[in-house]
Structure 1
Amino acid sequence: MKLQNKVAVVTGGGSGLGREFCIQMAHEGAKIVVADINKKNGEETVKLIEAAGGKAYCFEINVVKTEHINNLIASVLEVFGTIDILCNNAGITGERTKCHQVTEDSWDTVLEVNLKSIFLMSKAIIPIMIKQGGGVIINTASASGIIASAAGVEYTAAKHGVIGLTKQLSYEYGHEGIRVVAIAPGVIKTPLTKQFSNEDGPFHQLTMNAPAGRYGEPIEIAKVVTFLASKDASFIHGHVIPIEGGSTIL
């Protein structure tokens, strides 16, 4: 029970990687706040956690709206009294085409959801962590935050930005007792990536040529996140942890 009585807020916790993060951290004793724009999905995650004996709370949120974020924080503090862990996991894909074909709307939307939301969530929660003497922020970047790929210019730019933001936040708040780290998953088998993780998908050759030679499973990412959220990772600051079967070393 490495996270006993810790309170973890997970954006995008209603499905895919976010759901697995919630389940694994709850398994280690954390009280989970499932923050998702899809309330039905969020409530399903809560049911899964409660069925296993854990504690969870669902909050419907649009992570790019400051008012929603402030309401979330107020509710969490009212219910649990603290926020110890923030997993900035909410994200979307883009148009996956070349730069000159990408629309401004896709660029703006992907950068807003995948990067600006992390800034907004961190900006709002960091003062709480400072006041209580520390906390952990884990940002979901991507292998596309390390290398260029078929993910597209807006997604790749956003995820590179996530890694830069992670380093800057660590630099600014490490001495306040706040650890900030990022993970860089490869293509993981989730509903979001179902259309990509097949032989005709744009990442198949890259994934199969990597040392692991396969797609990842959500639990493989969630176990690393749970470790990073715990005291076992207390000396890891500001780094991005690739969890991609070796695809970024090629």
Structure 2
Amino acid sequence: MTDSRLPPALGLFDLSGRTALVTGSSKGIGLALAQALASAGARVVLNARDTARLDTAARLLREHGLSVETAAFDVTDPAAVEAGIADIEQRVGAIDILVNNAGMQHRTPFADFPVEAWQQLSRTNIDSVFLVGRAVAQRMIPRGRGKIINVCSVQSELARPGIAPYTATKGAVKMLTKGMAVDLGAHGIQVNGLGPGYFKTELTQALVADETFTAWLSKRTPAGRWGDVQELAGAAIFLASEASTFVNGHILYVDGGITAGL
């Protein structure tokens, strides 16, 4: 017998009245995730370091009638993160949903990989998740609820030539997600990972244009193609909504099946 107190199924995905922060959201996957959450009713705060890019992205979403604010700060700087999160909570409202999306890539064979690039990758891909996640969790805990989504990757599970350090960072994000879920679950906070496969974005344009790589990817991926960033929307809304209140420490791969086979 169903419980009459439960909302209709589609209502579980409604984010109206929620405030969501998406880091690294002035373009690419981050902007697509922000648009998805806003389309589901959330008031979304876009974050990046480049104010001009943020303003452009915000204007684009507002043209579609979506509720958008911006917050420019460096997610790898502990002091900037604390100040930025405090400002959002005071100026916009309590953060109900956090999407840790900020990240970068650097392709060089392992033996030639510059130390500086390794350090920058680590700061951007791992430190930011820890710093922003901690600052937001500290505020979610007294409220007894919250959703944190850390953007992982198929490289959280699989390696490719020339990106060993990137693979290490995304593997770390996967395990940090699980650790956060274990620590925060008792406080009513769900922490999950979203693992995109190969998607067409500004950052992957060179690979998309590489006929050899695209042919390899199409053969390797059961879906037989690159993903479009809009195809991440449903997974993001699910993990951010009441539909996933008993989903914690899970990595949801949206990859056309690439992690399913050899």
Report the TM-score, using the length of structure 1 for normalisation: 0.95
String of CA shifts for 1:25-64, please: whole Å, max 9, x gaps. 1111101110111212211221122222222111111110
The aligned amino acid for 1:102 is F
**Unpaired stretches in structure 1, ≥5 consecutive residues:** none
Instruction: Judge conservation of contact 1:207–1:214 (CA < 8 Å) in 2.
Output: yes
Report the TM-score, using the length of structure 2 for normalisation: 0.91
User: Which residue of structure 1 lines up, in the alignment, with residue 163 of structure 2?
Assistant: 152
What is the RMSD computed on CA atoms of the aligned residues? 1.5
The aligned amino acid for 1:48 is L
Q: Does 1:91 align with 2:114?
A: no
Structure 2 distance, partners of 1:154, 1:202, is 20
The aligned amino acid for 2:108 is T
The correspondence for 2:78, drawn from 42, 66, 91, is: 66
User: Which residue of structure 2 lines up, in the alignment, with residue 14 of structure 1?
Assistant: 26
Moved more, 101-110 or 199-208: 199-208
SS where residue 98 of structure 2 aligns? strand
Q: Does 1:52 align with 2:49?
A: no
User: Which residue of structure 1 lines up, in the alignment, with residue 178 of structure 2?
Assistant: 167
The aligned amino acid for 1:119 is F
User: Which residue of structure 2 lines up, in the alignment, with residue 124 of structure 1?
Assistant: 135
SS where residue 197 of structure 1 aligns? helix
The aligned amino acid for 2:68 is A
Q: Does 1:183 align with 2:194?
A: yes
Structure 2 distance, partners of 1:77, 1:223, is 26
The correspondence for 1:192, drawn from 200, 203, 211, is: 203
Structure 1 distance, partners of 2:162, 2:242, is 34
Structure 2 distance, partners of 1:128, 1:207, is 43
Instruction: Judge conservation of contact 1:144–1:151 (CA < 8 Å) in 2.
Output: no
Q: Does 1:114 align with 2:125?
A: yes
Q: Please state how far the C-alpha of 1:202 moved relative to its aligned partner.
A: 4.5
Residue 181 to residue 23, structure 1, CA distance change in 2 (3 Å): same
Q: Please state how far the C-alpha of 1:236 moved relative to its aligned partner.
A: 1.2
SS where residue 208 of structure 2 aligns? coil
Moved more, 53-62 or 8-17: 53-62
Structure 1 distance, partners of 2:233, 2:121, is 23
Structure 1 distance, partners of 2:214, 2:161, is 7
Q: 4+ residue stretches of structure 1 with deviation over 2 A? A: 198-204, 206-209
Structure 2 distance, partners of 1:29, 1:185, is 23
Instruction: Judge conservation of contact 1:167–1:180 (CA < 8 Å) in 2.
Output: yes
Structure 1 distance, partners of 2:213, 2:194, is 22
String of CA shifts for 1:87-132, please: whole Å, max 9, x gaps. 00011101x2222111111111101101111001111110100011
Structure 2 distance, partners of 1:165, 1:93, is 19
The aligned amino acid for 1:155 is Y
Structure 2 distance, partners of 1:134, 1:125, is 11
Residue 201 to residue 236, structure 1, CA distance change in 2 (3 Å): farther
Q: How does 1:20-35 map to 2 (within 5 A)?
A: 20-35=32-47
Instruction: Judge conservation of contact 1:197–1:204 (CA < 8 Å) in 2.
Output: no
Structure 1 distance, partners of 2:36, 2:221, is 27
Instruction: Judge conservation of contact 1:85–1:137 (CA < 8 Å) in 2.
Output: yes
String of CA shifts for 1:52-82, please: whole Å, max 9, x gaps. 2222111111110012111211221112230
Structure 1 distance, partners of 2:235, 2:143, is 25
Structure 2 distance, partners of 1:147, 1:29, is 35
SS where residue 192 of structure 1 aligns? coil
Q: What is the identity percentage for the equivalent residue pairs of Structure 1 and Structure 2?
A: 32
**Unpaired stretches in structure 2, ≥5 consecutive residues:** 1-12
SS where residue 130 of structure 1 aligns? helix
User: Which residue of structure 2 lines up, in the alignment, with residue 77 of structure 1?
Assistant: 89
The correspondence for 1:230, drawn from 241, 249, 259, is: 241
